């Protein structure tokens, strides 16, 4: 965890020092650590299967290493820019919709569906494409500058599911690890790409960002929702920390993400 | 859940009626329901991605349908009989070993590693190959007859990990959903393919087999182990029901299985 902790510290310090010109919003809260690599990628790259590595990441087997294996850069690029990433997302959102249709809503406005924001509703793939697809430690300043523009596009399948959930009558709760100073920027990005309405947009107060605080934040906010009388019918995100912990919801849906891992 | 429940009932009734000639062991406990399919496989097979479908299954997104989509039969066959399944397994077991090496054992014989049996230590791929790779409801009699032979081979990467864990000094606990009447058969199969020693082999008492009882069994047995003073350092299985619930262990490792799903 040594290198891993150093990266978190670096991100935190660098992000704290920087501010965004647009509304002076701090968005260090948006930065997440890159996903794990494996030893065997370096020791025997020719025999290494990047597809297997991705399976290992998505199923919570591989953790705690700082970057995507270098040997998998082209694989991840092909995956994210090609059709497979969309297909993988579609399987998840179609399954979510199939489930959502079976739920009989109480009609009291308390049936909610929780959605994560970063790499769930909107994607930062353009930034990843310009920065080695997670094979190098991300340049913090570059990432902050990218996110400050608020130009991340919608994930098409997520937008489709969002619209379908609204039509079915679900209340949408957006639960993100972004911090309060990023609220306006976040709302603006979401609205510009098609996400127009929600019951709540829940951000974090400022503070240190790591797996533990992120997961605690999500669990605590879900608990508050349940204690306020909401029923969490569904919950979708790209990270296991969105979907594990307290009150995860009746069904959870894990979107693919080969570039980042938090739990 | 209607069709699903019917299958479970069918399996249970059929298995209860049958007995094994060798030692009169009932092995209906071995039978697990096939994995979920998706609607879109049938509605638009040409556009359907079996790789995405597999991602959906392994990440707990797809559940509760009775068979592998017919359109994925060749995909699953190629996957299981080819190199990718081994590669996927290897990523998991290598990650497990990498973690195991970092653990400082107390030396009191209480540090244990839990391993599931079916499709974790040994594989029934030969049976699947003869029976449509999960695309049809399995013939219960045929499956019982196959399992009764006790000839399921070891998964090579699991056997390698097992040996490495023993060398590191871990105590091995085998925790299976198989029932007590299958004990001799199970021991014999395991020993014939290279698994020679373990601290405990824990089976279930007889009773109904379904996701709920299976998961409850595994949680209850892990609780007993912890209450007996054991420390569950690692836990590996091919099903989420092996790895979720109470006392899952400090780290869990999910092996691939495209044919069955229980949670």
Assess contact for A60 and A244: CB atoms under 8 A. no
Residues of B in contact with A88 (CB under 8 A): 49, 51-52, 55-56
State the alpha helices, DSSP H only, in chain B: 2-17, 39-43, 50-58, 73-81, 83-102, 125-130, 140-148, 156-168, 183-192, 211-227, 240-243
- pLDDT tens figures, A33-79: 444 444 456 556 666 789 999 999 999 888 876 789 999 999 999 99
Q: What is the reported pLDDT for A242?
A: 94
User: What is the number of CB-based contacts under 8 A between chain A and chain B?
Assistant: 90
The alpha-carbon gap from A88 to the nearest alpha carbon of chain B, in Å, equals: 5
Instruction: Using CB atoms within 10 Å of the CB of residue A108, give its burial: 0 to 12 exposed, 13 to 18 middle, 19+ buried.
Output: exposed
Assess contact for A258 and A97: CB atoms under 8 A. no
| Mean per-residue pLDDT, A154-167 | 98
Closest listed residue to residue B233, CA positions, set B245, B247, B251: B251
In whole angstroms, what is the distance from residue A72 CA to residue A90 CA? Answer: 23
Question: Hunting for tokens 């891993």 — which residue is that?
Answer: A4
Among B49, B87, B98, select the one facing A84 at the smallest CB separation.
B49
Check if B64 contacts A (Cβ < 8 Å): no
User: Among A76-80, A209-213, B57-61, B97-101, which stretch is predicted with the lowest mean pLDDT?
Assistant: A209-213
Contacts of A42 (CB under 8 A, 6+ apart): A69, A70, A71
Substitution target from B36, B95, B237 for chain A, most A beta carbons within 10 A: B95
The full length of chain A comes to: 263
Task: Check whether A12 has a pLDDT greater than 60.
Answer: no
In whole angstroms, what is the distance from residue A66 CA to residue B113 CA? Answer: 27
Q: What is the reported pLDDT for A209?
A: 73
Check if B219 contacts A (Cβ < 8 Å): no
Question: Hunting for tokens 């920390």 — which residue is that?
Answer: A241
Q: What is the reported pLDDT for A45?
A: 63
> Are residues A84 and B254, on separate chains, in Cβ contact within 8 Å?
no
Question: Hunting for tokens 């990433």 — which residue is that?
Answer: A85
Residues of B in contact with A38 (CB under 8 A): 91, 94-95
Check if B248 contacts A (Cβ < 8 Å): no
Among A38, A40, A91, select the one facing B56 at the smallest CB separation.
A91
Strand-by-strand arrangement of the B200-204 sheet? B200-204, B171-179, B111-115, B231-237, B251-254
**pLDDT confidence band for B206 (50 / 70 / 90):** confident
The alpha-carbon gap from A150 to the nearest alpha carbon of chain B, in Å, equals: 30
Helix (H) or strand (E) holding B204: strand B200-204
Phi and psi at residue A101, to the nearest 5°: -65, -25
pLDDT winner (highest mean) among A23-32, A62-71, A104-113, B12-21:
A104-113
Check if A257 contacts B (Cβ < 8 Å): no
Closest listed residue to residue A72, CA positions, set A35, A101, A29: A35
> Are residues A61 and B91, on separate chains, in Cβ contact within 8 Å?
yes
Among B39, B40, B61, select the one facing A253 at the smallest CB separation.
B61
- Write the secondary structure of chain A as one string of H (helix), E (strand) and C (coil): CHHHHHHHHHHHHHHHHCCCCHHHCCCHHHCCCECCCCHHHHHCHHHCCHHHHHHHHHCCCCCCCCCCCHHHHHHHHHHHHCHHHHHHHHHHHHHHHHHHHHCCCCCCCCEEEEECCECCCECCHHHHHHCHHHCCCCCHHHHHHHHHCCCCCECHHHHHHHHHHHHHCCEEEEEEEEEHHHHHHHHHHHHHCCCCCCCEEEEECCCCCCHHHHHHHHHHHHHHHHHCCCEEEEEEECCHHHHCCCCCCCEEEECCCCCECCC
The alpha-carbon gap from A164 to the nearest alpha carbon of chain B, in Å, equals: 17
Task: Check whether A28 has a pLDDT greater than 50.
Answer: no
Distance of CA A241 to the CA centre of its chain: 9
Question: Hunting for tokens 């599931």 — which residue is that?
Answer: B116
In whole angstroms, what is the distance from residue A57 CA to residue A63 CA? Answer: 7
Phi and psi at residue B20, to the nearest 5°: -95, 135
Phi and psi at residue B191, to the nearest 5°: -65, -35
Instruction: Using CB atoms within 10 Å of the CB of residue B156, give its burial: 0 to 12 exposed, 13 to 18 middle, 19+ buried.
Output: middle
CA distances, B62 to each of A59, A161, B7, B120, B216 (Å): 14, 16, 18, 21, 21
Looking at chain A, which residue has its C-alpha nearest residue B86? A52
> Are residues B95 and A60, on separate chains, in Cβ contact within 8 Å?
no
Q: What is the largest CA-CA distance in chain B?
A: 58
> Are residues A49 and B88, on separate chains, in Cβ contact within 8 Å?
yes
Sign of the Cα pseudo-torsion (A42, A43, A49, A55, in order): negative
Assess contact for B235 and B243: CB atoms under 8 A. yes
Q: What is the reported pLDDT for A42?
A: 59
Thinking of the domain B2-254, which architecture would CATH place it in? 3-Layer(aba) Sandwich (3.40)
DSSP 3-state assignment of B22?
helix
Task: Compute, in degrees rounded to 10, the torsion defined by CA atoms B115, B121, B127, B131.
Answer: 50
In whole angstroms, what is the distance from residue B262 CA to residue B241 CA? Answer: 6
**What tokens were used for B253?**
């490792």
> Are residues B61 and A95, on separate chains, in Cβ contact within 8 Å?
yes
Looking at chain B, which residue has its C-alpha nearest residue A49? B87
Rg, C-alpha atoms of chain B: 18
Q: What is the reported pLDDT for B43?
A: 59
User: Among A40-54, B3-17, B108-122, which stretch is predicted with the lowest mean pLDDT?
Assistant: B3-17
What is the rounded average pLDDT for all residues in chain A?
Answer: 83
User: Among A40-54, A160-174, A179-193, A223-237, which stretch is predicted with the lowest mean pLDDT?
Assistant: A40-54
**pLDDT confidence band for A217 (50 / 70 / 90):** very high
Assess contact for A215 and A263: CB atoms under 8 A. yes
Q: Which of residues 98-157 of A touch B (CB under 8 A)?
A: 98
> Are residues B90 and A38, on separate chains, in Cβ contact within 8 Å?
no
């Amino acid at each position: 965890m040594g290198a891993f902790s150093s990266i978190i510290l670096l991100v935190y310090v660098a992000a704290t020092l920087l501010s965004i010109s647009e509304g002076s919003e701090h968005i260090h809260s948006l930065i997440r650590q890159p996903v794990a690599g494996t030893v065997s990628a370096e020791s025997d790259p020719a025999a290494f299967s990047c597809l297997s590595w991705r399976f290992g990441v998505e199923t919570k087997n591989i953790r705690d290493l700082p970057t995507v294996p270098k040997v998998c850069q082209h694989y991840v690029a092909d995956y994210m820019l090609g059709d497979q990433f969309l297909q993988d997302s579609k399987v998840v959102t179609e399954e979510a919709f199939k489930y959502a249709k079976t739920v009989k809503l109480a009609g009291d406005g308390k049936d909610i569906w929780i959605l994560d924001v970063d790499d769930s509703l909107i994607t930062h793939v353009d930034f990843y494409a310009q920065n080695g697809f997670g094979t190098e430690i991300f340049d913090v300043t570059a990432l902050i500058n990218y996110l400050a523009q608020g130009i991340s596009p919608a994930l098409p399948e997520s937008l489709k599911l969002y619209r379908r959930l609204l039509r079915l009558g679900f209340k949408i709760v957006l639960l993100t690890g972004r911090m309060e100073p990023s609220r306006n920027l976040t709302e603006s990005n979401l609205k510009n790409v098609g996400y127009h309405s929600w019951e709540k947009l829940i951000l974090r107060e400022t503070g240190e960002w790591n797996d533990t605080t992120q997961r605690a934040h999500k669990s605590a906010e879900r608990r508050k929702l349940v204690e306020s009388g909401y029923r969490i019918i569904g919950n979708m995100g790209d990270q296991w920390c969105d979907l594990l912990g307290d009150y995860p919801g009746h069904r959870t849906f894990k979107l693919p993400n080969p570039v980042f891992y938090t739990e």
